[in-house]
Amino acid sequence: MYEIEMKAHVWDTKTLRNNLNSFATKGKILDKSDQYWKHPATNQQIRIRKEEIDNITTYLVTYKRKQIKVTNSGNTMEVNDEQEFTIDNPNALVFFLQDGGYTISLYKEKKVEQWHYENVLLELCSVPPLGDFLEIEIISDSDNPEIIQAYEQQISHLFTLCGIAKTDIENKYYSQLLEERLCSKDENSKQKQKNN
């Protein structure tokens, strides 16, 4: 299965919720806590997600073959071949990953509100310290270019319905944004130490 996704910065969550409620069906509210494990030799990465909905906890393991496609509008779109399964005991997998040389490369937290519209999942995500985002995702059986193009048009139309400007579409992965924020923070800290 292919996960086709675009995301955009959200500056006014109240207006966005009103726009979403005008055409989409409200779904779940959930918390997602992610650990990204990376192998230093291969850079292969796997995610362990703790998902909490109504006091029910689920652990999901996800492996993605990530692709970035540039759309006709010049934005990028994630087209990921995603393999995912649930586990009962994440500690067993953590031991396996540690013994296999994997280390944690990133932590990510998300507070998520979901809406559904036709074949589309729309998620308002609060991702500290990056801010709020609207993710629009479609699951597809194919990564055929014509199908991807049709989905890109559908997603762009939904951004417009939500009142999201094209300039607010984010072309980087969350991991890139978080790493940039961490590097910037480290650089500022070094600069302060240098000045003292």
How far lies 40's CA from each of 101, 142, 165, 181, 196, in Å? 7, 31, 38, 22, 35
Name the CATH architecture for the domain at 2-195: Beta Barrel (2.40)
Instruction: Kindly indicate the confidence band of residue 191, based on its pLDDT and cuts at 50, 70 and 90.
Output: low
Contact status, residue 104 vs residue 37, Cβ threshold 8 Å? yes
Phi, psi angles (nearest 5°) of residue 99: -65, -25
The whole-number average pLDDT for the span 2-30 is: 96
pLDDT of amino acid 67 = 78
Distance CA 152, CA 138 (A): 10
Distance CA 185, CA 99 (A): 31
pLDDT digits over 120-157, tens only? 999 999 999 999 999 999 998 888 888 888 898 999 99
The whole-number average pLDDT for the span 15-43 is: 96
Alpha carbon 3 to its chain centroid, in Å, reads 11
pLDDT of amino acid 195 = 56
Distance CA 66, CA 79 (A): 7
Q: Which residue has the higher pLDDT, 186 or 152?
A: 152
Q: Report the predicted TM-score, pTM, of the whole model to 2 decimal places.
A: 0.87
Of the chain, the percentage scoring pLDDT greater than 70 comes to 94
Within 10 angstroms of residue 80's Cβ, the number of other Cβ atoms is 19
pLDDT of amino acid 192 = 56
Question: Is-cis flag, bond preceding 129, omega within 30?
Answer: yes
* Widest CA span in the chain: 58
Query: Residue 62: which H helix or E strand, with range?
Result: strand 56-65
Residue 112 has pLDDT above 90, yes or no: yes
Contact status, residue 113 vs residue 123, Cβ threshold 8 Å? yes
Range from 137-141, 169-173, 183-187, 190-194 carrying the lowest mean pLDDT: 190-194
What's at 142, amino acid-wise? S
pLDDT of amino acid 189 = 54
What's at 73, amino acid-wise? S
pLDDT of amino acid 70 = 75
Extents of the domains making up the chain = 2-195
Contact status, residue 4 vs residue 78, Cβ threshold 8 Å? yes
